[in-house]
Amino acid sequence: MKRVFSGYTTLLVFGLLVAFVPASFAGRGDKSGTSAAPELLIPVGARDIALAGSSLAWTTGIDAIYWNPAGLSRTNHGAEAVFSNMSYIADISVQYVGVASTFEGFGTLGLTLKSISIGDMEITTEDVPDGTGQIFSPTYVTLGLTYSRLLTDRISVGFTTNLISERIDRVSATGVAFNFGVQYSGFAGVSGLNIGVAAKNIGPSLKFDGSGLLREASVTDILRPASFYKVEAQSDELPSTVELGISYGYKMEETSVLTVSSMFQNQNLSDDEYKIGLEYGYDNMLFLRGGYNFTQESRPGSYLYGATAGAGIHYAFSGLDVTVDYAYRHVKFLEPNHMFSIKLGF
């Protein structure tokens, strides 16, 4: 009965996720760059970035929270922690920290914090376009809470709630976004064959508010002094995506595993993306990775990303696992992205 219930539950979750694929979510490259909270699309985790983000079907442990929350419960540790830093574009850096713990009979909980550091910017106005001499520092922070559970030894599900906070000088916006995911390992009875599906950044539109939107003006047809009026900011959609992935791990020798993976991403405000990746692991200690991102661009030359590469080292101490990963991602017209991650397993 438990297996039957888990099977029906999985089919229901898969059906709900695939239901997000209607025409309203078709890739629309003509609206690229118009979404709210674009930081939700900035990836984290050197291991998965080195695989071009193709690891939706087989990413596991705390690394999985961003890519597919269903993989969080597929961990060999009672608790995990991850710290990472990425050199993004235009001197922007991305810091990420996460912790997770497994509770027997309940599932696995994870807490993450992603912060975007843009640096100081000079304040300009209509009257002083060259700068007032004052500076401000934009802040973009995403706080996430994830729950994941193994329904059977092959099927896992996961759910993430992200709290979004953005502040630019005297205006700010807050919102919430939800991620859902499912993973199925040993699909069709084939050992090493995994599939995954995820729907990400589902939530209400985001709108800025604050004193920075106030403007002093006079109404000409009434007798009253100049007053402050607020400019009504536009609400913008979140960059919602639906992703489908597959992977296959082949054990080459007693100590070597070669895993190939691919993923299709459909976004509501941009072109559809395709990602492929390859990882070679030796003795669960040394890992070499590579991948490639591509898309059918509605505007040729607009897609920034391409090849990825990276490596990882894993070492087990007494009661402590340490993994250090590095990733490189090519960026067209700009400096490439570099990311380092350190993961601890207890």
> Can you tell me the distance from the alpha carbon of 133 to that of 34, in angstroms, rounded to the nearest whole number?
30
Question: Which is it for the CA torsion 182, 51, 66, 177, positive or negative?
Answer: negative
Instruction: Pick the more confident residue, 22 or 60.
Output: 60
> In the prediction, which pLDDT does 71 show?
96
In three-state secondary structure terms, 84 is strand
pLDDT tens by residue, 179-215? 999 999 998 889 899 999 999 999 999 999 988 888 8
Question: What mean pLDDT comes out for the span 102-119?
Answer: 94
Least reliable range by pLDDT among 53-57, 90-94, 152-156: 90-94
Name the one residue in this structure whose structure tokens are 């939700």: 40
Domain 2-345 sits in CATH at 2.40.160.60
In three-state secondary structure terms, 2 is helix
Give the Å distances, CA to CA, from 298 to 211, 262, 305: 38, 22, 15
Backbone angles phi, psi at 55, to 5 degrees: -90, 20
Residue 303 neighbours by CB distance under 10 Å: 19
> Can you tell me the distance from the alpha carbon of 97 to that of 49, in angstroms, rounded to the nearest whole number?
16
**Structure confidence at residue 83 as a pLDDT band (50, 70, 90):** very high
What's the pTM value of the predicted model, to 2 decimals? 0.86
Given a cut of 50, is residue 73 above it in pLDDT?
A: yes
Domain ranges of the chain: 2-345
Given a cut of 90, is residue 290 above it in pLDDT?
A: yes
pLDDT tens by residue, 231-287? 888 888 999 999 999 999 998 888 899 999 999 999 888 889 999 999 999 999 999
> In the prediction, which pLDDT does 28 show?
55
